[in-house]
């Protein structure tokens, strides 16, 4: 599949590579390190700008190299990021499973909490998890075929 690089940015010790796969209308964001509260807003502004420009149906959160998210950052994801991508038409927000247990637990906790507390996000977004990017992209391609 053809990949279009959108950007590579660093927010202190947190690095994000963002690219688009046009064939399946998907943006992938690979995260490395730990995002801190003072940079979460910048990260989301940059990422949401790409969502507004490209209008993907799916956004893959490649969290394999991400470190644990603190509670305040989790709250911002739940109350700001997910509602905004849902409003912009994103339907699938799968995660590539983090390699370390604390990160995995914080991602699982965020998803469980938002599904229980935000009806709009619960009804709009699907949050499956995968071990590899390739398996995730194959699943998204299948979902897109089924919705046609």
3-state secondary structure of 101: helix
Domain at 4-147: CATH code: 3.30.750.24
In terms of average pLDDT, the best of 5-19, 68-82, 105-119 is 5-19
pLDDT in tens, 16-26: 999 999 999 99
pLDDT in tens, 5-14: 999 999 999 9
Q: Per DSSP, what are the bridge partners of residue 19?
A: 5, 28
**The two three-digit tokens of residue 42, written as one number:** 């910048």
Domain map of the chain by residue range? 4-147
In whole angstroms, give the CA distance from residue 98 to residue 30. 11
From the CB of residue 110, how many other CB atoms can be counted at a distance below 10 Å?
A: 21
Mean pLDDT for the chain overall? 92
Q: What is the pLDDT of residue 45?
A: 96
Question: Sheet holding 4-11: strands in order across?
Answer: 4-11, 14-21, 26-33, 58-66, 95-96, 129-130
In whole angstroms, give the CA distance from residue 27 to residue 86. 14
Q: What is the pLDDT of residue 39?
A: 94
Q: Quick check: 107 pLDDT over 80?
A: yes
């Amino acid at each position: 599949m053809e990949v279009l690089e959108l950007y590579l940015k660093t927010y202190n010790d947190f690095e994000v590579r963002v690219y688009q796969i046009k064939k399946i209308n998907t943006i992938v964001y690979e995260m490395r390190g730990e995002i801190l509260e003072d940079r979460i807003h910048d990260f989301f502004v940059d990422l949401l700008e790409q969502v507004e420009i490209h209008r993907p149906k799916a956004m893959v959160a490649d969290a394999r190299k991400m470190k644990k998210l603190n509670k305040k950052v989790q709250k911002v994801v739940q109350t700001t990021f997910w509602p905004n991508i849902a409003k912009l038409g994103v339907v699938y927000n799968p995660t590539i499973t983090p390699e370390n247990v604390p990160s995995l637990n914080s991602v699982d906790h965020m998803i469980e909490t938002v599904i229980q507390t935000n009806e709009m996000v619960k009804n709009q977004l699907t949050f499956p998890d995968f071990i590899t990017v390739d398996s995730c992209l194959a699943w998204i391609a299948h979902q897109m075929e089924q919705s046609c």
